[in-house]
């Protein structure tokens, strides 16, 4: 007596009964997923848009490099970015264009002058927390203009 699997038994039973069973594969329609505002597709599209923009050499490009170790760096960087973009028309401010250095908070003109450079800070990041960010923003605006 041979052992049979359940599927083999069902196939044999269908043939013996005289019915012909065909499996039909239905092709499901292929859908493209729309790029969501928070997904990777949106990030790629945003980077391509930024790369496609024509670079104007007269507009200042500010780079803010901030460590990702603590949110204090991020909040100060965003505060400076918003302050500069609101006060200086046409300024381009980028946060962390490359991987940031550890314990670093630096604001500089791309390929030029450095406004603030706090490097290799240890916790609790006293030099950065001692800064009055409004004064820093005003000083940078004066130097840009």
Task: Catalogue all structural domains in the chain, each as residue range(s) with its CATH number.
Answer: 61-144 (3.40.30)
Predicted confidence at residue 145, as pLDDT, reads 80
- Indicate whether 78 pLDDT > 90: yes
Cα separation, 109 vs 28, whole angstroms: 53
The lowest-confidence range among 3-12, 15-24, 64-73, 82-91 is: 15-24
* Mean pLDDT computed over 60-85: 93
Q: 20 or 59: whose pLDDT is higher?
A: 59
Angle at 93 between CA 141 and CA 138, to 5 degrees: 20
Cα separation, 113 vs 104, whole angstroms: 17
Predicted confidence at residue 15, as pLDDT, reads 62
Cα separation, 124 vs 144, whole angstroms: 31
Q: How far is CA 133 from the centre of its chain?
A: 25
- Indicate whether 1 pLDDT > 90: no
Q: 122 or 31: whose pLDDT is higher?
A: 122
Residue 102 contacts residue 67 (beta carbons within 8 Å): yes
Predicted confidence at residue 111, as pLDDT, reads 86
- Residue 142, SS3 per DSSP: helix
Strand-pairing partners, residue 21, are none
Q: What is the pLDDT of residues 9-58, one digit of tens each?
A: 777 766 655 555 566 677 777 766 655 555 556 665 555 555 545 556 67
Task: Give the percent of the chain with pLDDT over 90.
Answer: 50
Predicted confidence at residue 127, as pLDDT, reads 92
Q: Any idea what DSSP says for residue 55? A: P
């Amino acid at each position: 007596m041979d052992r049979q699997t359940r599927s083999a038994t069902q196939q044999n039973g269908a043939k013996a009964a005289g019915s012909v069973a065909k499996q039909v594969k239905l092709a499901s329609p292929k859908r493209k997923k729309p790029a969501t505002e928070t997904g990777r597709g949106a990030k790629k599209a945003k980077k391509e848009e930024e790369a496609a923009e024509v670079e104007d050499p007269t507009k200042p490009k500010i780079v803010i490099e901030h460590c990702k170790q603590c949110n204090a760096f991020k909040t100060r960087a965003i505060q400076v970015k918003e302050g500069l973009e609101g006060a200086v028309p046409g300024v381009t401010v980028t946060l962390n264009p490359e991987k940031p250095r550890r314990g670093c908070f630096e604001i500089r003109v791309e390929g030029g002058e450095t406004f603030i450079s706090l490097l290799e800070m240890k916790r609790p990041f006293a030099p950065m927390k001692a800064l009055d960010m409004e004064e820093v923003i005003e000083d940078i605006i004066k130097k840009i203009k």
